[in-house]
Chains A and B, each alone.
Chain A
Amino acid sequence: MQYSNPGYDGVVQRPSRLLILALAFGVALIGTFIFGWRAGRHARHLRWENEPIRPWMSVPFVAHTHHVPAAVLFHAIGLEPQPQDRRPLRTIAREQHRPVEDVVRDLERALAAAGHTHPALETPGGKAP
């Protein structure tokens, strides 16, 4: 490698390059631990936490992720149960002329109520909150 910058004999540049490499190495190591820790945390949540309800989900999708019959949720938002109805919650909310947050809230209430009657909602440590 050539270090022929005028005014420098190369001695100054070498340690500065090493310093940059060492810093980058340190950042990469820290990144490895941070992302590893985050991946581990998500992996733990995979086992114990229920999926939050998102506006892109359909009613059968929410029913599947929370292990309750879809009919319970369809009724909760004032719809006749139809297994083939795969409309996203946002579309349903638009058609019902109300904010999607309202629809999500109704579903969450229905899930909370269903938690008392559907054992699938129970976690190993007891019933879901």
Chain B
Amino acid sequence: MREQILAALSQYGSPALFAVVMVASIGVPLPVTLLLIVTGSLVAQGVMPMWWAIALASTGSVLGDQIGYAIGRWGGAALVSRFAGLLGGPERIAKAEDHARRWEGPGVFFTRWLVTPLGSLINFASGIAEYPWLRFLFWDVLGEALGAVLYIVLGRIFSDRVMELDAALGDFSWMILALVAAAVLGWVIWRYLRGQGR
């Protein structure tokens, strides 16, 4: 799948970029970060202008996110449960819904470019939780634009090392996730031990 997507981007450029980021934002697990990095490399090779690549990637992602939000908000329980399997099951959706309620705007913003695996879940969850659409749109556009700029610019800078860059960023994301998990667990243990001491 990864090979085909990158081949399509390499051969068809803009239409492939737009289609893949949109489909991925709806919830299909596709290698979007690598796609944006390779897009940055294509920018460096003069295949497409930087502003055009960023605009296309942002617009495609926002459109996909809006479809996810609309499914959550107006699609009804049957449609959401149909996508639930694809997104890790109803429990994961319920967690994301809780996350959406608690973190609201910043939650939408950070899942666009930093904690991207949760992005599609947050779209559905924000719709189900009836998070105001205009506010969702605002944070969505802001986060997706930042994500597109970040990864495309990185791809442009390291245009001759795209696979290594993708691997480095992938491991870096996992490191951040593990670090956050360690911090949360450490905090829970500390609270537990403090409670025992009283």
Residues of A within 8 A of B (CB): 14, 17-18, 21-22, 24-25, 28-29, 31-32, 35-36, 38-39, 42-43, 45-46, 49, 51-52, 54-58, 60-61, 64-67, 86-88, 90-91
Contacts and interface: CB of A to CB of B under 8 A. Distances in A.
B91 interface: no
B182 A32 contact: yes
B188 interface: yes
Interface in B31-73: 41-42, 44-45, 47
Interface string B151-181: 0000000111111110111011011001101
Contacts of B186: 25
A18 B11 contact: no
B41 A46 contact: no
Interface of B: 3-4, 6-7, 10-11, 13, 41-42, 44-45, 47, 158-165, 167-169, 171-172, 174-175, 178-179, 181-182, 185-186, 188-189, 192-193, 196
A43 B192 CA distance: 38
Interface of chain A, helix or strand or loop or mixed?
helix
Contact of B182 (A29, A51, A67, A90): A29
A28 B182 contact: yes
Given A45-B164, A51-B164, A86 B11 contact: yes
A64 B11 contact: no
Given A35-B175, A42-B164, A64-B44, A55 B7 contact: yes
Given A24-B185, A46-B164, A51-B163, A35 B11 contact: no
A39 B45 contact: no
Given A21-B185, A32-B178, A51 B162 contact: yes
Contacts of B174: 31, 35
Nearest to B9: A56
Contact of B13 (A42, A45, A67, A86): A86
B158 A61 contact: no
Contact of B171 (A28, A42, A67): A42
